[in-house]
């Protein structure tokens, strides 16, 4: 995306899930000196993203309280029980009209640092492609950055579509893969043992 003006990028954090496999709201689990959701939001705020949208649903009020007065936009997804796609769509609908591109991030990936986010942002700014995806050992990770033109594609996806990742198949030629040297872009936490392993690694 070579141009004189840096595109305006908004980060969208999907933090609305039920955490059914974890057994308790993973957004609110202790991590480091705060919680998982605070860790991820702070990394986004310290990165080159121009603004941050946090999509909440399950335990929305507790998440709002944890995030306090941080300079972010919080939007509530009333359909959060329907899954991650509904939250991505909620976040996309909340985008400001000045946004040129948006980065999708997941709340259970607190190991993604501001530097890693910036690596993907820098690659996106420099490429002519409309999608930038970090890749570790040929596996796609997060954050994934989409040009604004893909907003309508995401909003048009149905519940049985397979989610946002279906765009990777549809628009293969418009993807720039950003090779990174760490599995931090892949690490997430679905189960209690994933969280306990993450805590050990964070020490």
In angstroms, the CA 1 to CA 65 distance is: 37
Check: CB of residue 70 under 8 Å from CB of residue 77.
Answer: no
Is pLDDT larger for residue 199 or for residue 175?
A: 175
Q: Which range is least confidently modeled, 36-45, 73-82, 176-185, 194-203?
A: 194-203
Buried b (16+ CB within 10 A) or exposed e, 15-26: bbbebeebeebb
Answer whether residue 194 shows pLDDT above 80.
Answer: yes
8-state DSSP, 125: H
Q: So what's the pLDDT on residue 99? A: 97
127-154 exposure pattern, b = at least 16 Cβ within 10 A, e = fewer: bebbbbbbbbeeeebbbbbbbbebbeeb
Q: What is the rounded CA–CA span in Å between residue 199 and residue 71?
A: 27
Considering the entire predicted model, what is its pTM? Answer: 0.94
With bands split at pLDDT 50, 70 and 90, how would you rate the model's confidence at 24?
A: confident
State the average pLDDT for the chain: 94
Gap between the Cα atoms of 136 and 182, Å rounded: 7
Does residue 5 surpass a pLDDT of 80? no
* Average pLDDT estimate for 28-57: 96
pLDDT in tens, 94-135: 999 999 999 999 999 999 999 999 999 999 999 999 999 999
Taking alpha carbons only, the member of 69, 44, 72 closest to residue 56 is: 72
């Amino acid at each position: 995306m070579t141009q004189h003006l840096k595109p305006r990028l908004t980060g969208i954090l999907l933090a609305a899930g039920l955490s059914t496999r974890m057994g308790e709201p993973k957004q609110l689990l202790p991590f480091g000196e705060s919680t998982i959701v605070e860790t991820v939001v702070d990394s986004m705020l310290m990165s080159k993203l121009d603004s941050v949208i946090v999509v909440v649903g399950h335990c929305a009020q507790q998440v709002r309280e944890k995030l306090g007065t941080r300079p972010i936009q919080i939007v509530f997804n009333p359909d959060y029980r329907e899954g991650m796609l509904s939250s991505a769509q909620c976040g996309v609908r909340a985008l400001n009209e000045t946004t040129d591109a948006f980065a999708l991030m997941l709340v259970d990936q607190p190991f993604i640092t501001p530097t890693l986010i910036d690596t993907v942002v820098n690659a996106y700014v420099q490429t002519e492609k409309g999608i930038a995806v970090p890749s570790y050992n040929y596996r796609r990770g997060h954050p994934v950055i989409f040009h604004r033109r893909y907003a309508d594609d995401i909003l048009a996806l149905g519940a049985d579509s397979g989610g946002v990742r279906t765009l990777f198949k549809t628009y293969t030629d418009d993807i720039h893969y950003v090779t990174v040297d760490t599995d931090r872009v892949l690490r997430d936490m679905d189960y209690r043992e994933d969280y306990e392993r993450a805590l050990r690694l964070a020490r």
